[in-house]
Amino acid sequence: MRKLHLLSIVSLVFLGTQALAQSVDIQKAYTKEIKKLSSEQQIEKAFRTIEELEEQSMSDLIMLTEIEAPPFKETKRAEKFKEMLTEAGADRVWIDAEGNVLALRRGTKGERTIALDAHLDTVFPEGTDVKVKFKGDTLYAPGIGDDTRGLIVVLTTLRAIEAAEIETEADLLFVGTVGEEGLGDLRGVRHIFEAGEVKIDSWIGIDGGAIGRVNNKGLGSKRYKAIFKGPGGHSWGAFGLANPHHAIGKAISYFTEEATEFTSSGARTSFNVGRMGGGTSVNSIPFESWMEVDMRSVSPERLDEIDKIFKSTMNRALEDYNKGVKKGAPLTLELVPIGFRPSGEIAATEALVQRAMAATEFFDVEPRLTRGSTNSNIPISLGIPAITLGRGGAGGNAHSLDEWWMNVNGAEAIKLTLLITVAEAGLDKSRTIKKR
Ligand SMILES: [Zn+2]
């Protein structure tokens, strides 16, 4: 066991997700495995191919970025990505019922399947100007880094594996997922595991910034829209009718009091009333009052508990408020789930995590085990080894119109991804050249 020393715990922020770096133990066996694998002829050839493909990878990045992929409307980009994976040489490429693109490349044993994923969707609505603009070497466009560059990492990994005629023991599944962002709520990856068209044994997601990130922990969240409704009326003439705003005030007070107490100790858990609305004018009793609430926890049990606190305080506030209503109909309450991302953790001793750390170190970058809210949350919550890696290069302003990405050593992230993927799938050296 070797100990990597980190100067201190460093806080890193990825796309609004807090990730906490940890000191890391890498077992010697994995350091050796990665070193040996990287010196294999086919891997060296694949690495050269990645370098040779740099120009094409850049022009493909621009082309894909300029095909808009708003939430729930990823079809056009999915069709193109499917075409690209087919050309790259996968055995079977298809789009599933949810809209995900899947490309299967068979292994020589085929007893296991290793998935390599990036997400197709962006946070930007239909009609956003997605034309790539250049300032020197910097490329500006909404979605260029998050996660279009991730798609290029996935695609180029397949191209390089094909060019180097690498045969893996396990099957490889190259994936472009829909619905990762926001209200998409991981619907793509969720469908893949629920439908079970392909049984996946390891999941490698590409999302997030520079290389070094080995995200092995999922930050779980639950989100609701709470809607209090009543008859509404004139503020003077109908005075005495139930007022949903007054009730929601009570509800927030009950909830935040109990939730503050609950989160003041134990595994880190948070809550937030993020948006509120309703009402038509200052002199009207509103017929509706709504709020959106986000709760997060590193622990699945505590996430369930704060969820219970939320629901019970909402209902108690409704009952207590309605007790005082003397005129007209009582208020009703609707709790609409608008997001659920499970939490969980893959042990740092797990082979996939170890391989990712050893490979990262092989590229002279210090690996950081992080917690985040990505596609990996789903397999992690199911106990399936899963990590999310950075897409490489330099970038910034994700989720904003002036998002940028620059190809600073971008090829390295692809080589790293390829090395981890082949290590996890097992290189079959007995069948170096095979006609496909
Ligand atoms: Zn992303």
Q: What is the mean pLDDT of residues 299-311?
A: 96
Give the span between the Cα atoms of 130 and 11, in whole angstroms. 31
Q: Which residues of 105-117 are buried (b: 16+ CB within 10 A; e: fewer)?
A: bbbeeeebbbbbb
State pLDDT tens for residues 51-94.
999 999 999 999 999 999 999 999 999 999 999 999 999 999 99
Cα 112 to middle of ligand 1, angstroms: 26
Cα 206 to middle of ligand 1, angstroms: 8
Give the span between the Cα atoms of 179 and 198, in whole angstroms. 19
Residues 63 and 144 in one domain: yes
Cα 69 to middle of ligand 1, angstroms: 13
Q: Is 436 within a domain?
A: no
Of the pLDDT bands very low, low, confident and very high (cuts 50, 70, 90), residue 131 is very high
| Whole-number pLDDT of residue 94 | 98
Give the span between the Cα atoms of 143 and 157, in whole angstroms. 20
Q: Is 415 within a domain?
A: yes
Of the pLDDT bands very low, low, confident and very high (cuts 50, 70, 90), residue 182 is confident
The pair of structure tokens assigned to 361 is 């170190």
Give the span between the Cα atoms of 238 and 287, in whole angstroms. 12
| Whole-number pLDDT of residue 70 | 96
CA 54 distance to own-chain centroid: 26
DSSP strand E in 15-146: where?
A: 17-20, 25-26, 92-95, 101-105, 113-119, 133-135, 138-140
Q: The domain spanning residue 139 has which CATH number?
A: 3.40.630.10
Cα 207 to middle of ligand 1, angstroms: 5
Residue numbers of the domain that contains 134: 2-218+343-431
Rounded alpha-carbon distances, angstroms, from residue 373 to 39, 71, 221, 400: 34, 17, 8, 18
In terms of phi and psi (left: phi > 0; alpha: psi -120 to 50; beta: otherwise), the region of 86 is alpha
Cα 436 to middle of ligand 1, angstroms: 33
Cα 16 to middle of ligand 1, angstroms: 10
Cα 102 to middle of ligand 1, angstroms: 18
Residues 35 and 155 in one domain: yes
What percentage of the chain carries pLDDT values higher than 70?
Answer: 93
Residues 160 and 253 in one domain: no
Cα 341 to middle of ligand 1, angstroms: 14
Residue 4 has pLDDT above 80, yes or no: no
Give the span between the Cα atoms of 336 and 292, in whole angstroms. 9
Which alpha helices (DSSP H) does 363-409 contain, by range?
377-381
State pLDDT tens for residues 259-284.
999 999 999 999 999 999 999 999 99
Q: CB of 220 within 8 A of CB of 341?
A: yes
Q: The domain spanning residue 248 has which CATH number?
A: 3.30.70.360
Residues 183 and 154 in one domain: yes
**What's the whole-model pTM score?**
0.86
Which alpha helices (DSSP H) does 382-425 contain, by range?
410-425
| Whole-number pLDDT of residue 430 | 84
Cα 149 to middle of ligand 1, angstroms: 10
Q: Is 299 within a domain?
A: yes
Q: What is the mean pLDDT of residues 355-367?
A: 97
Of 320, 341, 362, the last residue of a domain is 341
Residues 282 and 295 in one domain: yes
Cα 176 to middle of ligand 1, angstroms: 12
Residues 171 and 282 in one domain: no
| Whole-number pLDDT of residue 436 | 45
Q: Is 135 within a domain?
A: yes
Residue 21 has pLDDT above 60, yes or no: no
| Whole-number pLDDT of residue 5 | 39
Give the span between the Cα atoms of 410 and 211, in whole angstroms. 9
Residues 307 and 390 in one domain: no
**Nearest Cα residue to 247 out of 226, 228, 233, 234:** 228
Cα 395 to middle of ligand 1, angstroms: 13
DSSP state, 116?
A: E
Cα 119 to middle of ligand 1, angstroms: 7
Residues 100 and 248 in one domain: no
Rounded mean pLDDT of the chain? 93
Residues 306 and 369 in one domain: no
Residues 18 and 86 in one domain: yes
In terms of phi and psi (left: phi > 0; alpha: psi -120 to 50; beta: otherwise), the region of 271 is beta
Cα 53 to middle of ligand 1, angstroms: 24
What percentage of the chain carries pLDDT values higher than 90?
Answer: 91
Backbone angles phi, psi at 411, to 5 degrees: -60, -30
User: How many Cβ atoms are within 10 Å of 354's Cβ, its own excluded?
Assistant: 24
Q: Is 224 within a domain?
A: yes
Q: What is the mean pLDDT of residues 131-137?
A: 95
Residue 28 has pLDDT above 70, yes or no: yes
Dihedral (CA of 274, 278, 281, 284) sign: negative
Give the span between the Cα atoms of 28 and 53, in whole angstroms. 33
Q: CB-based burial of residue 18 (10 Å sphere; 0-12 exposed, 13-18 middle, 19+ buried)? A: middle
Which alpha helices (DSSP H) does 167-265 contain, by range?
187-195, 244-263
State pLDDT tens for residues 205-224.
999 889 999 999 999 999 99
Q: What is the mean pLDDT of residues 230-244?
A: 97
Q: CB-based burial of residue 286 (10 Å sphere; 0-12 exposed, 13-18 middle, 19+ buried)? A: buried
Residues 352 and 243 in one domain: no
| Whole-number pLDDT of residue 24 | 66
Of 288, 318, 341, the last residue of a domain is 341
Residue 22 has pLDDT above 60, yes or no: no
User: How many Cβ atoms are within 10 Å of 19's Cβ, its own excluded?
Assistant: 24
Cα 145 to middle of ligand 1, angstroms: 8
Of 341, 376, 410, the last residue of a domain is 341
For residue 301, the SS3 value is helix
State pLDDT tens for residues 135-149.
999 999 999 999 999
Q: Is 423 within a domain?
A: yes
